[in-house]
A and B are shown apart, each in its own frame.
Chain A
Amino acid sequence: MAVPATKLKEKKEIIDVGLEEGAARLTYERIEQVINRVITAEMAARMKVYVDTCIHCGLCSTACHYYLSHGTPEWAPVGKVKQTMWEILEKKGKVSPEFIKRASIIASTECNVCRRCSMYCPYGIDVAYIMATVRRICHLLGVTPQYIQDTAHSHSATMNQMWVKEDEWIDTLQWQEGEAQAEMPSLRIALDKEGADIMYSVIGPEPKFRAQLIYQAAILMTAAGVDWTMPASPGWDNSDMAMFTGDFEMMGRIKRTHFETAAKLRVKKIVMGECGHAFRSVYDVGNRWLGWKMPPIPVIHATQFYYELLKEGKIKIARKLKEPVTLHDPCNIVRGRGLHEMMRYLVNATCENFVEMYPNREQNHCCCAGGGVINCGPPWKTKRVESNSIKAEQLAATGVHICIAPCHNCHGGLEDIINTYKLNMHTMFFIDVLMKTMEIPDALKA
């Protein structure tokens, strides 16, 4: 395996029309007005606590994969806060359009809001919250990277992140159902089945690019004998890039659609596919913006669902993967939900040779794709990959060729790292592993 490249020499200027055009429209007056409105009407007391509490010790630095990959202070979490929120507060919003553009770049492309740094801060300061507030200000000023803004627009128009039209969604489910029936004739992807036990929801990229994941989920559900349904209307997508652009009003609308779709179907539980940020949006952020303390319909991430199916004996493992595998702990379901031991149970149940990467569990390094960073699109790809050489080193040190990563953004980010640093690995979702290892009852086979 190749040794990862390290240390960027210098920051290259990246042109993003969303930032350039957005900043060109700004006036000093508008910037000041918007910032002061956010400060007085939206910022929670915790922002003041965080700002007043930080002792500038820099212990957060070594938590951050950007800092570990580049090695200079401006990449440290405290450095990013210094360049953005401290300046904004100190100048009471009297900052320039160029400053706002730079703040948007830092908040949207140099921080994955992964929350690893909070664990290294002696006071537990939530830098992700600070960066999310910077993004909120940039959203309200119309200075957001083009591609993630386009994704937020897709959410607003279609309630999914990939501009998938309503007929395309249903047609894709029927297509996958037809394909899967060749393998399992009794299989059915029941659309809008009121009173089913479970609503299965996915993210926009699944019908758009990774339809096989829907096929595989249908195989799993059928093998496990689960009473499940998928909605035939908007509300099927649990993802939420509006959460990451700072368009909280749109985030709330997306989450309302998702939960009300489930409530209308009278399901008892929502099981969502292997996506991390979507879990954060339904379990933590979006539901709470709407006034729900917890999800009004219980939501579990796919990994917890697989774990429960295995523990309850509803699915059985016929054979284990022989190849050595490692496991990447996604931020939003590990630091955000604590599913790491369930995932290890899954790996050990399905794989003969599990090689931990170090650090792991809640200490794991982020993929550098999450938090909306990969959604900022092609202009930012090289920077994103170069900003995570530490991840490449971490992956390379395992010496294995398979990395299980139960999160869509992690998949995208890790694949880019693997390809760039020539790590000779490939990623798998847990559902990919289960399809290779799970027992399919004879009665269900074609």
Chain B
Amino acid sequence: MSESKKWDWDTSEELIATPSEWKTKFARVQEPYVSPDGKKVAAIARNEDGTYTACVNGEAWENTYENMWNLRFGPDGRLTAIVSEAGEWTLAVDGVPWENKFAYVWDTKFNEDGQTIAVKIQQDTRYGLAVNDQPWENLFEHIGKYVMTPDGQYMAAAVQAVPLGQAEVFKFKDEGTWTVAVNGNAWEKIFTNVWGLDCSPDGKHVAAEVRMGLYDYTIAMDGEMWPEKFNCVWEPVFRPKTSEALATAPVRAAGKWTLAVNGKPVWDSKFVQCWHQTYSPDGRKLAAIVAPSFGQWTVAIDGKLWATTFNELVTDLTFSPDGNRLAAIAKDDGHWKIVVDGTPWPAMYDMVWPPVFSPDGSKVASKVEKGGKYTIALNGKPWRECEALWNPVFSPDGKKVLVRCIEDGKYYRRIVPISEF
């Protein structure tokens, strides 16, 4: 949001480039990606000589590479791609490769402002992270999921710290081989498994879902397990805007799921399923996707259910910035829907993308697809159809929407007043 204040919110239409013409410049061109501010459109392109480059607004990067994949813009508008040269891999940022090269590189992540970029690396069959071109000092047997704090100062990853031989089943389950590494430094405690994890916003605490042996699931925070053990758990999140370290996770006991904070249940309700718990930005409300009965899905806010249920899927739970409203994607009888505060929009789609709230929370917009055409729907009302489209962005005053779209092979950056929806 702070970054978007600097963007151009006045030019109603800007033809940025014509990606459909790039096919004449290169042997092959892949699908396009656009920058958050909409000023750049880029695609991986293959030259006639078999080398790869990125084409940005019609101009190729100066450097070419043996291979290239995972083209992604960061929040600050820099363009990254994973590239290989002479059999080694690294990350290229705006066309310039990092100095450090590795046997393999994957899973690019950015912090909130995009100034910190991390990737997983493998070198000499040892695994870890490289952050802004600096590999972790300690590498491990393998690496699983990783997260970083919004300021990009802390990274936490599930890592396999102990080697394991073939079919060593008792060592795996009795002694454990996995732990958590924070900025490359592993916890002392070793677990059988470590999966999803979260950093507290200030980076002082890390919580992870772990299994000890084959049956005891719990959350470990800063290397210490909750005393409570469960039949199963899902990944924890920290409550924001508090000085306390409050790790919150779905836990399963006696065949039912609920939410626990630091090991203690916080909701009286129990569910067939409960996951993707999310705090409102101010940390005061807690919501989760739940199945109150088999095959029926909805959202619970502070333990209270939406009145409507959906029979296939609920996903992408999103709080408004003020925390007063909640939206999600639902699938019911084969149709995709946007649901806001428990009420689905009347229209049904072939696919929908995560809903976006206006800064004051009064409006919701979403990219939607029907019959192979894409549009933005705002509070359920569709804009015009496009060949391709990216997620909408509200202006800081909430009166306009940045629409990044391709029409007739041309990529446009448009600023659309909400009155046009």
Give me the interface of A with B, judged by CB distance under 8 Å.
Answer: 17-18, 21, 41-42, 139-140, 142, 146-147, 149-150, 153, 156-158, 165-167, 170-171, 174, 186, 188, 190-193, 195, 232-234, 247, 249, 252-253, 256, 260, 263, 266, 268, 288, 290-294, 296-298, 377
Contact = CB atoms under 8 A, between A and B. Distances in A.
A150 B167 contact: yes
Given A195-B351, A266-B351, A294-B312, A247 B167 contact: no
14 contacts: A139-B214, A157-B142, A167-B127, A170-B106, A174-B67, A232-B106, A234-B144, A252-B232, A260-B315, A263-B315, A268-B351, A293-B295, A293-B311, A294-B295
Given A166-B120, A232-B70, A290-B273, A157 B28 contact: no
Complex A-B, nearest 8 residue pairs according to Cβ-Cβ distance, in ascending order: A293-B295, A291-B273, A296-B313, A167-B104, A291-B291, A291-B272, A150-B167, A249-B232
Contacts of B334: 298
Nearest to A260: B315
B178 interface: yes
B31 A193 contact: yes
A377 B173 CA distance: 19
A411 B170 CA distance: 30
Contacts of B31: 190, 193
Interface size of B as a range = 35 or more
Contacts of A253: 195, 232
B172 A153 contact: yes
A47 B43 CA distance: 57
A133 to B, nearest CB: 15
B274 to A, nearest CB: 9
Given A18-B169, A268-B351, A292-B313, A192 B70 contact: yes
A338 to B, nearest CB: 20
Contact of A188 (B30, B192, B232): B30
Interface of B: 28, 30-31, 67, 69-70, 103-104, 106-107, 120, 122, 127, 142-144, 160, 166-170, 172-173, 177-178, 192-193, 195, 211, 214-215, 217, 231-232, 252, 254-255, 272-273, 275, 291, 294-295, 297, 311-313, 315, 331, 334, 350-351, 353, 369
A356 to B, nearest CB: 36
Given A167-B103, A292-B312, 13 more contacts: A17-B169, A41-B254, A139-B214, A150-B169, A157-B144, A157-B193, A174-B67, A190-B30, A195-B351, A232-B70, A232-B107, A247-B214, A291-B273
Nearest to A191: B69
Contacts of B122: 165, 167
Contacts of B331: 296
A171 B104 contact: yes
Nearest to A247: B214
Contacts of B311: 293
A260 B104 CA distance: 25
A191 B28 contact: no
Nearest to B388: A195
A296 B312 contact: yes
Contacts of A150: 166-169, 172
A139 to B, nearest CB: 7
Contact of B217 (A142, A249, A266): A249
Contacts of A296: 312-313, 331
A254 to B, nearest CB: 11
Contact of A153 (B107, B120, B173, B313): B173
B106 A263 contact: no
Nearest to B213: A142
B353 A266 contact: yes
Contacts of B350: 268
